[in-house]
Amino acid sequence: MRAVTVSSSGDLSVSTIDDPVAGADEVIVDVVSAGVNRADLLQRRGHYPPPPGAPDTLGLEVSGHISEVGPDVSGWSVGDEVCALLAGGGYAERVVVPAAQVLPVPAGVPVADAAALPEVACTVVSNVVEAGGLRAGELLLIHGGSSGIGTHATQLAHALDARVAVTARTQEKLDRCAGFGADILINHATEDFAQVISEHGGADVILDIIGAKYLSRNVSSLNTGGRLVIIGMQGGATAELSIATLMGKRASVIGTTLRSRPVDGDGGKRQIVAHTQAVTWPLIAAGKVVPVIDSVYDLDDAAAAHERLDSGEAIGKVLLRVSAARPATG
């Protein structure tokens, strides 16, 4: 099968590799589209190796059709339109995935667009809903509001009747965020987000992709009992934290990852995928949450897709078109 491979110098090219083989509790998905994520850029540069047992091929989410079902799998059949959360392997014509990490394509979403959902939806549910415990009426601050995660988190929080503040670096991006339901728009190039948030009464939950650079201001922005959930380190990995401030606010700082979690066990991907389907898929079917797609590139143009994501100009998800969707039947 065709797949994107990474050379020792970090160059991307399409090569022929062996087809995947399904285990007893796995399925094979013939890929229509694959999502492009910042983790792929890091892995390409040698900074984010796949977890043990995962394919070396890039790609953390796909959509397509099931072409093979392992003997211990129930609930899925050959031909089903699905999307899936992966530990790797998505930039390819076929991928093997634990059945527990497969989701149906939501009602009303084309199969080619559904690759924009698994990684962001599972990230947002596991961090904003589960770890952050966001409740109706609370204020959620999202750093990187125009990103794939940001645009999805804004819609989900708005649908759950929370207030949403976002940071972005241009007015165009902020205007788009407002269209997704953001209530407070902060241009981080010209405004101090901590000052703005304090003027609005403080944040109850903060979803942060920056890390060290924002740590002090994030903690200062929290309300009493607030929860800071850190999911990225774009602004560094090490910073000083005022324990006194944290204790005085009775606040929490939570660091999480998704890719390296096991399939099963407490907090495993099986639980997260099931919770995501229960929380988010009805909202998608109702049109309250939609996949936000910035651009689509052919598999052979994966390097250009990486450039687009790395530019910081994308609003929403960047996708790779791997193969044509099959005609609908029935």
Query: Where does residue 249 rank: exposed (0-12), middle (13-18), buried (19+ CB within 10 A)?
Result: middle
What pLDDT, in 10s, does the model give residues 211-258? 999 999 999 999 999 999 999 999 999 999 999 999 999 999 999 999
Domain 121-255 matching CATH 3.20.80.10: the answer reads no
Strands 12-16 and 2-6: antiparallel
Give the residue extent of every domain in the chain: 2-117+291-321, 121-255
Q: What is the pTM of this model?
A: 0.95
Same fold, 2-117+291-321 and 121-255: no
**Cβ atoms within 10 A of the Cβ of 270, count?**
17
What pLDDT, in 10s, does the model give residues 246-276? 999 999 999 999 999 999 999 999 999 999 9
Q: Write the CA distances from 134 to 31, 123, 146, 162, 284, integer angstroms.
A: 34, 14, 20, 8, 19
CATH number of 2-117+291-321: 3.90.180.10
Strands 252-255 and 222-230: parallel
pLDDT band at 327; cut points 50, 70, 90:
low
pLDDT band at 330; cut points 50, 70, 90:
very low
Supply the mean pLDDT for the chain.
96
Expressed in angstroms, the distance from the first to the final Cα of the chain is 29
- Asked whether the predicted pLDDT for residue 284 surpasses 90, the reply is yes
